[in-house]
Structure 1
């Protein structure tokens, strides 16, 4: 297959933003051809791009941070890459996921820009001063032409050395998964997700009123203790007032307030904060606003009624995606983190007995266009299934083969209640679920107590938590032994490798900090394989559905959401389910896999 090395330059002149694929302008498209010559297209048009479209769509296209270039070319000229290699994503994989964290890169003083990789692999300093000077409709200077060609000449060297390094480390399969997933990432970011603006308005009205009522209650209770206007959002003002009221506190964060969970005033403060965050983070950001300098900041609802999020393909150390604004900080637009949307209810209607008869969930604001349906599909208990497979635990494997609910089976072992007497919505099953999932993350007694309270509103004592964990380990000794050795070896080797070959590396830690490596390693060996499975499914679903005009609206960990015309929704549902199961079966050879697709109008599982 022919290899083409690609780069584009975009217009950053006044009125244009070179990071916005929807409204920005491409100034140059430059290609390094197999014969070693550089081909530059200035101010590309549909006609000029159509001439090279077949070559781009049928060659291996190599670039740095290629998602950016691909997104522009796909949005503006309808070009679809099928074979890609991104030196940016590859470098994160080669780091064992260490470079996935922006915070970690800052600590290590590591850059992932092209100039950083040129210095690392080619030993040369790359001057990027010309990068912002490209303008649409203005002839290129001699220096700009040299700049465009120079950036490309380093890509073959970096590409070759990265591939050799990947082979040496043994992560060729990881690289392959990531590169086949990249086109799906562009499909995801360009598809967007329909937003119900009318429903947001209802949520705004209710949240605004609730914030006001909570604030009035708190001020009414605390005003006698301060005598001056009180800013509830200021810790320095709130803390001394609460102390004067008799609360023995050293801070006003959620953990500090936890010991007074039963107090009405403390509950009201926590409620106020939750409502305030809900209002300001998720509701008001939907609308246009202005910054301190009077510049327009567009809300996350675009003129077409959809929201377009940004996703980071290698968003966590384990290879999971993340959603956020890491790569678009300079864009004058608010972006939702579609992987972290609350499940808060609003517009709750109750009957005369106080029983809820109807309500909306915040996720209901995300919906299908008229005449379309959402297909929402996620894996059933994927991480416990992976844990059963990679550990080889016979009891867990047997449970899944027999079609049993692992959480109910675990609850039976912990509480001694017969399997058929434990309901799916029972407290016992919920505790068993949190323990099973928690031990995948190295959760200890304090963590389990907190997680049960935060996620399930279940209070347990230290003694109870210890007993639950002990009984889990007694019930699944093979899993417990497997995870113990994973953690032990990670401390020794400073790395862990999953069943697919993906590597998670760790930085050296002091003896009293080694427990962090232990917990992260236990998590990585399971979570990273879940990420691999989902990414394989995404890449395959892209090949089947993107050419048919299906939209890829969102993905959250092991959940995939697409939007299809109503008349073919059931067909698309079957395709998504089959591809998800097919991807999982590559690794889950002893454990049956299950995906749960749902055809709906709004984002619901």
Structure 2
């Protein structure tokens, strides 16, 4: 692919280039940087292409004149990047948006992300990759040479090969845009793509803002957890010792508590009726009857916390900011949910002891907002079941109402255990749990579980009809969609009952969980726009939760903005069932603060 480019190194050249580029409706945009983290390196090149001419801005030349963020000569470039008059086409736009924000001091305007578009079009398929080279080859047949990608971008004089490589990466984005925009339209993915593209900047800014972690609190918590682990381990070894076959001349025989086979053998030897494995969901129903199982589950929870959330978390605290700047992948699952790494902030234990370690900096407050039972509300909306919807419209407690129906008691006579049981049933329905699995989860026999679910669906008849019809449709069409049109293509062997059953459950759940993801992403964008000009920053998000940080004097205002934008996002997709948001202003992430 031939590319005509001009290297821009002066104020006059930059002004003329930006004037010409401003005449185009769509621009290809790419950057070349010396590192992956914008705090650790330089933003060397920024490339913009209108398809005919590509301009390569050498920002090192402008950095020699002073700080890029305050350089007035770069104002035309900032305006071009930030405005919504032109669509900027990028691949993995979040990466470039972070560098542009951190080094140039402006937010990326309206964008089209070919990386996110490729994942949406793949619809859950894992048969191809989504790098720029792979996407270009797949959609245009053009092969990109990526040799210069890992070259030295800090040297004063770049080679012609480096500059041509940079220019080509920007130009290829224009034919890619044309192909992918048409494919998104044909696949009914335009609204889902709009949600994803508009969420790029809020996520980029969230990662730049980071989440403050109190080192001393964290180390103190780890010390307490270690002591707890030692005590639980000692108790568990004692409880299992009777089931250890070997004898010891020097005291109690011990086993490796992290070895499933050894633990399973010991449990069987002391008469605990376990299945072939010792997975948590199989053990949970036995915990009340067998104290050793309860102790084992305690041990595993503590051990997992130590392994996953120990001192290693402190390695991710930035020395300059004192904050964790995790990496959020926008489409971390086919449902559209985020995933998170380096570290995974979405998997921080819910215990207040852990979450209180994440706090607002002095002079600030955290605003923590959760959608209340959002997936159940989505299910009520989709099913159209009048009783299900009424439980939310009237403000009744859905779990107590469900318990009253399935246990045949008055609602004011429902016990905490019955409500807890009904809560598991309600959420189990969302994930397509059957009678057999529900029985294992609760300790009921299969027939008891079947009777329980029969009474449940006798109460919510349209819900039952919706789930049946939805399951049949996804198996027939092999496609599931969210309210935005986000698509999942189901692959299974129609002659394999287990595969068909798994596909049915996943296909029924995907529209519910995926619509929840659509709503959250829409809320992130709405909130981001509304807090412009305030001190507020989004610092974390977990499935149905948004965490923001702001000055103490702005906390009340920001909390109202967050509540309103989250409700607004929900009502764009859910019309009959009310959206509820639980919100709190706190010094830290814990619920008890």
Whether TM exceeds 0.5 here: the answer is yes
CA–CA distance in structure 2, aligned partners of residues 500 and 374 of structure 1: 30
Q: 1:421 to 1:200 in 2, by over 3 A?
A: same
- The offset of 1:444, in angstroms, is 1.1
- The offset of 1:478, in angstroms, is 0.7
TM-score for both structures, normalised by structure 2 = 0.85
Say if 2:7 is the partner of 1:21: no
- The offset of 1:194, in angstroms, is 1.5
Q: 1:224 to 1:492 in 2, by over 3 A?
A: closer
CA–CA distance in structure 1, aligned partners of residues 380 and 295 of structure 2: 43
SS at match of 1:53: helix
- The offset of 1:167, in angstroms, is 1.1
Say if 2:309 is the partner of 1:278: no
Q: Deviations over 1:1-32 (max 9, x none)?
A: 73221111222xxxxxx222221332322221
Work out whether residues 50 and 171 of structure 2, in 8 Å CA contact, stay in contact via their aligned partners in 1: no
Aligned to 1:130: 148
Aligned residues: 547
CA–CA distance in structure 1, aligned partners of residues 340 and 298 of structure 2: 26
CA–CA distance in structure 1, aligned partners of residues 526 and 194 of structure 2: 13
Say if 2:366 is the partner of 1:374: yes
Aligned to 1:446: 436
Work out whether residues 194 and 369 of structure 1, in 8 Å CA contact, stay in contact via their aligned partners in 2: yes
Say if 2:411 is the partner of 1:419: yes
CA–CA distance in structure 1, aligned partners of residues 370 and 267 of structure 2: 45
- The offset of 1:36, in angstroms, is 2.4
Work out whether residues 181 and 539 of structure 1, in 8 Å CA contact, stay in contact via their aligned partners in 2: yes
- The offset of 1:434, in angstroms, is 1.9
SS at match of 2:337: coil
Aligned to 1:338: 345
Q: Which moved more, 1:158-167 or 1:253-262?
A: 253-262
Q: Deviations over 1:445-493 (max 9, x none)?
A: 23324555xxxxxx44433322221111111111111111111111111
Q: Which moved more, 1:152-161 or 1:29-38?
A: 29-38
SS at match of 1:157: helix
Aligned to 2:488: 504
Instruction: Please list every run of 5 or more consecutive structure 1 residues that lacks an aligned counterpart in the other structure.
Output: 12-17, 100-104, 288-297, 325-334, 345-359, 453-458
Work out whether residues 231 and 237 of structure 1, in 8 Å CA contact, stay in contact via their aligned partners in 2: yes
Say if 2:431 is the partner of 1:431: no
Q: 1:397 to 1:203 in 2, by over 3 A?
A: same
- The offset of 1:233, in angstroms, is 3.7
Instruction: Please list every run of 5 or more consecutive structure 2 residues that lacks an aligned counterpart in the other structure.
Output: 1-23
Aligned to 1:467: 451
Aligned to 2:521: 535
Q: Which moved more, 1:377-386 or 1:486-495?
A: 377-386
Work out whether residues 319 and 532 of structure 1, in 8 Å CA contact, stay in contact via their aligned partners in 2: yes
The 5 Å alignment of 1:126-525 reads: 126-217=144-235, 222=241, 225=246, 227=248, 231-234=256-259, 254=280, 261=287, 263=290, 267-287=294-314, 298-300=315-317, 302-324=319-341, 335-344=342-351, 360-422=352-414, 426-452=416-442, 459-511=443-495, 512=497, 513-525=499-511
SS at match of 2:231: helix
Say if 2:97 is the partner of 1:57: no
Q: Deviations over 1:272-293 (max 9, x none)?
A: 3332221231122133xxxxxx
- The offset of 1:131, in angstroms, is 0.7
CA–CA distance in structure 2, aligned partners of residues 265 and 394 of structure 1: 44
Work out whether residues 300 and 336 of structure 1, in 8 Å CA contact, stay in contact via their aligned partners in 2: no
- The offset of 1:86, in angstroms, is 0.5
Work out whether residues 316 and 325 of structure 2, in 8 Å CA contact, stay in contact via their aligned partners in 1: no
Aligned to 2:548: 562
- The offset of 1:239, in angstroms, is 6.3
CA–CA distance in structure 1, aligned partners of residues 409 and 247 of structure 2: 53
Q: Deviations over 1:318-340 (max 9, x none)?
A: 1111212xxxxxxxxxx221112
- The offset of 1:408, in angstroms, is 2.0
SS at match of 1:534: helix
The 5 Å alignment of 1:13-162 reads: 18-33=35-50, 36-43=53-60, 45=63, 46=68, 47=71, 49-58=74-83, 59-96=86-123, 98-99=124-125, 105=126, 108=127, 110-162=128-180
CA–CA distance in structure 2, aligned partners of residues 248 and 172 of structure 1: 52
SS at match of 2:345: coil
Q: Which moved more, 1:230-239 or 1:401-410?
A: 230-239
SS at match of 1:210: helix
Q: Aligned-pair RMSD on alpha carbons?
A: 2.7
Work out whether residues 378 and 559 of structure 1, in 8 Å CA contact, stay in contact via their aligned partners in 2: yes
Q: Deviations over 1:91-115 (max 9, x none)?
A: 111122x14xxxxx3xx2x110011
Q: 1:230 to 1:431 in 2, by over 3 A?
A: closer
Work out whether residues 32 and 153 of structure 1, in 8 Å CA contact, stay in contact via their aligned partners in 2: yes
CA–CA distance in structure 1, aligned partners of residues 94 and 210 of structure 2: 16
CA–CA distance in structure 2, aligned partners of residues 53 and 367 of structure 1: 33
- The offset of 1:125, in angstroms, is 2.0
Work out whether residues 203 and 283 of structure 1, in 8 Å CA contact, stay in contact via their aligned partners in 2: no
Q: 1:116 to 1:596 in 2, by over 3 A?
A: same
